[in-house]
Structure 1
Amino acid sequence: MAEAQGGGTVKAKSDFDGQKEAEALRKAMKGLGTNEKAIIEVLTNLSNAQRVQTAIDYKTMFGRDLIKDFKSELSGKLEAIVLALMMPSPLFDAHALKRAMKGAGTDEDALIEILCSRNNAEITAIKLIYKKEFKNELEEDIRSDTSGNLQKLFVSLSTGGRDENAEVDSDKAKADAKALFEAGEKAMGTDESRFNMILATRSYPQLRATFDEYAKVAKKEIEASIKSEMSGNLEKGMLSIVKVVRDKPAYFAEQLHAAMKGLGTDEKTLIRILVSRCEKDLVQIKREYFKMFKVPIAKSIAGDTSGDYRAMLLAICGGPE
């Protein structure tokens, strides 16, 4: 699949015909054996909305549930990524958040990644679908699964109430920079609530101006102060907000690299990021990945995965380059 121009590697098909796509998928799963290549070809050449429509057309035409057919015909990591691609984006995020808080232990990395990187409209949509799917408020589950300052950060981010005004108030940036300095570097102990309030409520352009002012006041970057003043998952959460504010594609490039380095691949993170970003900014993420790690992301994926699962990941990325 040729890489698309713009932010996404996966684009809406211009001559989309849901019935035609449904027919191709039925043919790929009918009879003995499954044509995985045909499934990959269909799904990676449609937008999320078109995949959802194809599932409706599939049921209308054949009286069968496309998701159930995928579950019975596919398995393992390929099944996981196919099912992820079939979910509307807010539903996919809601399920990822629920999975992160289910059972013993919490996947704080997944919570940090989703809550720190989605905009207000996306958070609002996630919360609505989360309530519908799991019969509970997202905030309630966050409260029961986390504690302390990290819990406060997650609750703040889950409100979806960040200022999204593009205008920058330079006086406020100076005042916020001074407040952050006094809450951290200058104080005995750290007033995390001040960091929480500013990092969770201000717009991205406003925060970028604040970070510039902070470097002047503190004689060091905000990241260095967070590292020296905080620890563990709270430090990771605060740093993630700063990274997303400064350069969201670079943040995701870093997360993808972390998922593939060392022994064993973090498949959940790999799938979550590629599926959630493939229609938004995966082109830029690939560019940043190459800039940061001097290797194409496709090469890292190819060396870390195999078979039809690898073929699906590479197709989502826009090909082997």
Structure 2
Amino acid sequence: MVFFVSKNPTVYPHEGFNAQEDGDALRAAMKGFGTDEDTIIEILCSRSNAQRQKIAAYFADELGRDLIDDLKGELGGNFEDVIVALVRDPEEYLCKQLNNAMEGMGTDEKTLIEILCSRPDNEVRRLVDAYEEKYNRPLAEQLCGEVTGELRRLMTFIVTGTRDSGDDVDATLAREQAVQLFEAGEDRFGTDESVFTKILAKENFNHLSQVFEEYKDVSGNTIEQALKSEVDGDLLEAMLAIVECVQSPPAFFAKRLYKAVHGAGTDDETLIRIIVSRSEIDLGTIKEEFERIYDKTLESYIRDSMVQGETSGDYKKALLALIK
């Protein structure tokens, strides 16, 4: 099995794109009394990020203005957050999300796990480089001050490039590692978490897929069942995220979207982050997985669950435009 991210986006480069026309239209939508939110949504939600960067460059070079500053001055709340997220460079946006998860009192481990544990090595390396360039501090150094124990060890392995960057599968080694995992968990009293950490954080996703298949043969249980019986807390969440993204990244993100909207209140930051960051990658497949798992479309779930009056109509309209 070869691991890959299904290229099934919902946002594509706009045909006939013209940065000047879009830039002038956006400027007019924000100039004078009132704001034309529909024009902002129509343009920014139907352009690729590369095209949005060209619009931002037109704003800076020809109009002498900062597009993000103008948007922040005109918009507010979650609607502002989703529109500004669209205009940021994708890696810069995720780095900002990582930084937000670690700054101030407390740490948002779930965001760190979602961003860092869901991606193969090449994507993590780009984030690590972008983070140090933006914040002048190694991501690993900051993580070590925010998370503890085995979770810190797992994440340190991930962000320091310990994971195999190739895609080869060693069937003999996979069998040996499946046995190691069994002996470190289900086959003993207590759990040697370090064995799970070393294998899950160091092997490439293709190889891990084979390890998990071998584990079922060795144990009779799935690796998910084993983890749930042997590990708990944030470490369990991180390890399950790796397992789920080895098997199906779209299913992982579909479940995250469901949890973000389900229950009392909406986790808007997670909702925005996943929809924006996956819209040009695999949001189309995430939609398919969402409907398969929950027997309802992602569009209807967002439309019906985010009650009008509790959230901005423009915010909901922008989200729906991105997942169309």
Query: Normalising by structure 2, what TM-score?
Result: 0.94
Question: What is residue 107 of structure 2 aligned with on the other side?
Answer: 106
Question: What is residue 246 of structure 2 aligned with on the other side?
Answer: 245
Answer yes or no: is 1:309 the counterpart of 2:310: no
Maintained 8 Å contact 1:119/1:160 = no
Maintained 8 Å contact 2:30/2:74 = yes
Maintained 8 Å contact 1:90/1:122 = no
Maintained 8 Å contact 1:164/1:204 = no
Question: What is residue 10 of structure 2 aligned with on the other side?
Answer: 9
Question: How many residues align structurally?
Answer: 314
Q: Deviations over 1:235-265 (max 9, x none)?
A: 1111111011011100000000010110100
Maintained 8 Å contact 1:184/1:229 = yes
Letter in 1 for 2:235: L
Letter in 1 for 2:8: G
Maintained 8 Å contact 1:70/1:79 = yes
Maintained 8 Å contact 2:121/2:158 = no
Answer yes or no: is 1:225 the counterpart of 2:226: yes
Letter in 1 for 2:56: A
CA RMSD, aligned part only? 1.3
Question: What is residue 272 of structure 1 aligned with on the other side?
Answer: 273
Q: Deviations over 1:272-291 (max 9, x none)?
A: 10011000000000000000
Change in CA separation of 1:18 and 1:161 when aligned onto 2, cut-off 3 Å: farther
* Structure 2: gaps of 5 or more residues: 1-5
Deviation at residue 6 of structure 1 after TM alignment? 5.1
Letter in 1 for 2:34: G
The sequence identity of aligned pairs, in percent, is 42
* The 10-residue stretch of structure 1 (253-262 or 11-20) with the greater mean CA deviation from structure 2: 11-20
Question: What is residue 50 of structure 1 aligned with on the other side?
Answer: 51
Maintained 8 Å contact 1:112/1:240 = yes
1:133-172 paired onto structure 2 within 5 Å: 133-172=134-173
Letter in 2 for 1:298: E
1:283 and 1:271 mapped to 2: Cα distance? 16
Letter in 2 for 1:309: Y
1:38 and 1:125 mapped to 2: Cα distance? 33
1:308 and 1:28 mapped to 2: Cα distance? 14
Deviation at residue 35 of structure 1 after TM alignment? 0.4
Maintained 8 Å contact 1:9/1:316 = yes
Question: What is residue 282 of structure 2 aligned with on the other side?
Answer: 281
2:135 and 2:260 mapped to 1: Cα distance? 28
Query: Normalising by structure 1, what TM-score?
Result: 0.95
Q: Secondary structure at the match of 1:34?
A: coil
2:189 and 2:69 mapped to 1: Cα distance? 58
Letter in 2 for 1:11: Y
1:203 and 1:129 mapped to 2: Cα distance? 22
Maintained 8 Å contact 2:120/2:204 = no
Maintained 8 Å contact 2:10/2:280 = yes
- Consecutive aligned runs of 4 or more in structure 1 exceeding 4 Å deviation: none
1:155 and 1:164 mapped to 2: Cα distance? 16
* Structure 1: gaps of 5 or more residues: none
1:6 and 1:213 mapped to 2: Cα distance? 28
2:112 and 2:261 mapped to 1: Cα distance? 19
Question: What is residue 94 of structure 1 aligned with on the other side?
Answer: 95
